Amino acid sequence: MSDVSLPGSAARARDGRGLIALFTVTIFLSASLLFFVQPLFAKLVLPVIGGAPAVWTTAMLFFQTVLICGYLYAHLLVRYVPIRWQLGVHLSFWALGLLFLPLAIPEGWVFDPNGPITLQTQGLFALGVGLPFAVLSANAPLIQAWYRRSGAPSGDDPYFLYGASNLGSMVSLLAFPLVAEPIFGATAIGQGWTIGFIAFGMCLMAIAWTFFARKTDAATTRAHTHTSAKPITADQIAIWLLLAFVPSSLMLAVTSKISTDMGTIPMVWVLPLALFLATFVLTFRTRAILPDPWLKALSGFSVVFLIYVFTTSALSTGKLVMVAALIFAFFAIALYAHRQLYLARPDAGNLTTFYLVMSVGGALGGLFNSIIAPTVFDTMREGSATVVMAAIIPLFLNRPTLSPTAARRIKALGALAGGLFLALAVLTSNASLLIGVAGAALGLSLLLARPLVTFAVAMIAVTASGTFLQFNGAHFVDRSFFGAHMVRDDHARGLRLYMNGTTVHGIQRLDDLTAQRPVPLSYYHPELPMAQVLQSDLARDASDIGIVGLGIGALACYRTPGQTYHYYEIDSMVDQIARDPALFSYMSACAGDQPTYLGDARVVLEGQDDLKMSVVVIDAYSSDSVPVHLTTTEAMQLYLDRTTKDGVVLYHISNRFYDIDVPLARSAAALGLKIWLHQEPLTKTQYLQGASASSVVMLARPDTDVESILKDGNWRAVQSDGGRLWTDDYANPLSILSALR
């Protein structure tokens, strides 16, 4: 009898292995395309919309919103539509998605600089990549649900496929900046993505064939379709929301912390997101990478460490070991949270509901960091708030059981204490008491409330507490969509400092605040290269000069009577700080009536066809990052178009990590321009006077007379290395990393 059954068993085993391979490849390819298209399309639209951080944040908001819609579509499709119709509907949407390819800016789309940038960006992404992304976003739950009904081995527990999905996401995420972007341009990458999307459709057709052509699988499908799933409770939903929220929010907070304290260096945003995805691969399996008690202990230690990091400037010294420790701490907490999420998963009948709620929790993390925190916090406190949420996870999952009598006594005591705290807080406006009220509410909810109520209370408590914390001794503390701003005094040196995050972006002497013409300091010291150019005969005789990047307006005091200084600034709060004489007096004393054009400089300059300036200063290379769209050949041509025939363009490129002069020299050679670099250490006297070492590139047309500027002998001509031009289609920041050259 065994001899007869073996061939059938072997055939079923082969079929089972084939199904596992087919579904794994399909979900891997889908996830790879999903995460590849996000940076790809953002790169395509960057020169059109502008290079503001708001563009990236708005793009991520679009992707997270569509992801939820995709999961909801998958949930409704699986629950209410027969499986063969599910496949037909999804293949139809895939076919419609082909109409969006190859990816490009929709023909006829025009950016309105005076319109709402958020809505325009959302609309552009929807028109350009909306349907293909929506099709891909639904695949993780859909493919797992189909696998469950395919008759394949382990069909009752298809969650292992989610690990393959996140592995594909992680691989594509790393491949874009490390492989695709350094080698190919955006157009070529988009063509490759189109081929991948077509290949994914072929995989979908293969899955459909397994259901349409095999009667045994159809019977299995009918059996699974009529299997009733256990109802989902509100407590389960609350647990899934918290366990998905914390890693998502913490990932964004860690990325922002590193960028703020150390500058945007390679892998700053890639590595945390890749590790975030890796935690799914390592935990959504029968056996996690480490025993659960170990993960819990590591998470606890990491919470303590992150409290220290998020409440200090521990990373500002630039020690990579601290960055590594920060990333590892985030990784440990994400491992623990996602492992608990896997252990809290429902039976396979509720798979799509589980992923829908999980996507909402992750999106709430993004919403909290991108929208809520900048609105309600005066500085970057979302990291500290999320760490508090991470700290309550063990308590949240292991809530104490109280007797009715004990519960009543705690409620009465809590109500009395809470009322007293609240009364004192209102009467005294004491921030500590207000934080105490929030803490008491959170503690009581952990003891007594249902998990869903506790999650809501925790969100409110940590958000409310953060709004009451204040910096002592600061003249100005606030936060815009583009970053945290602070103005404070260094009395020991007699200086007033403007800080964006923990980076000093402007300095003025306290004694100069009431001076008729204050002396510029830092990079703008009278003996440094930008001042040399603005004090030259070429600049003094000019009628119009452009400054991209306002800062605190230190360059204003090189303006001569009758000149117009055109300022280009993306952040209105920077303009507010620079023009407030109670904070800094450069603008009010020297250029109070000069215009500031708010918005991305490249977008604004595109619309100023009739403007010609003798000097254009590009001073937007802040926080050691490279605003690529301001550095491309097309951008250089735009600046050149806005200068007079004997004008010059200056790039302030002071940077700890990148040799930005390299791509600039390539573009200058391609455009037939001359280019010079001024880069030398400060003298002791200059340092004591408040100067900061700067690197400046100057370029001009071949027949421009700049001898009066070059005569000090510190400018040297720069030759192109013959490398590939940076364009709006292609740029490779890794290739100019100082440590790799």
Query: Hey, what amino acid is at 235?
Result: D
Residues of the chain with pLDDT under 70: 1-16, 50-57, 113-115, 117, 154-155, 214-229, 259-269, 312-320, 378, 399-403, 406-450, 452, 461, 464-473, 481, 501-502, 621-626, 738-741
Q: What pLDDT, on the 0 to 100 scale, is given for residue 347?
A: 81
- Three-state SS across 505-531? EEEEEHHHCCCCCCCCCECCCCCCHHH
Q: What pLDDT, on the 0 to 100 scale, is given for residue 464?
A: 66
Distances 483 to 429, 467, 480, 503, 508 between C-alpha atoms, Å: 28, 16, 5, 11, 21
Distances 420 to 414, 415, 437, 462 between C-alpha atoms, Å: 10, 9, 9, 20
Instruction: Give the three-state DSSP class for 474.
Output: strand
Cis peptide before 102 (omega within 30 of 0): yes
Q: What is the distance of C-alpha 25 from the center of its chain? A: 29
Rounded to the nearest 10 degrees, the angle between the axes of helix 139-148 and helix 186-212 is 20
CB 55 within 8 A of CB 42: yes
- For the CA atoms of 546, 552, 553, 558, what is the dihedral angle to 10 degrees? -120
Q: For 290, how many CA atoms within 13 A lie in the half-sphere containing its CB?
A: 15
The total number of residues shown for the chain amounts to 741
Q: What pLDDT, on the 0 to 100 scale, is given for residue 620?
A: 82
Q: 715-717 and 674-679: which strand pairing?
A: antiparallel
Q: What pLDDT, on the 0 to 100 scale, is given for residue 95?
A: 94
> CA quadruple 520, 521, 522, 525: dihedral positive or negative?
positive
- pTM strictly above 0.85: no
For the chain, domains (ranges, CATH) are: 10-227 (1.20.1250), 409-468 (no CATH), 522-740 (3.40.50.150)
**Residue 497, token pair as written in the block:** 């400092």
CA distance 166 to 284: 10
CA distance 730 to 735: 12
CB 521 within 8 A of CB 507: yes
Q: What pLDDT, on the 0 to 100 scale, is given for residue 427?
A: 61
**Residue 272, token pair as written in the block:** 């945390």
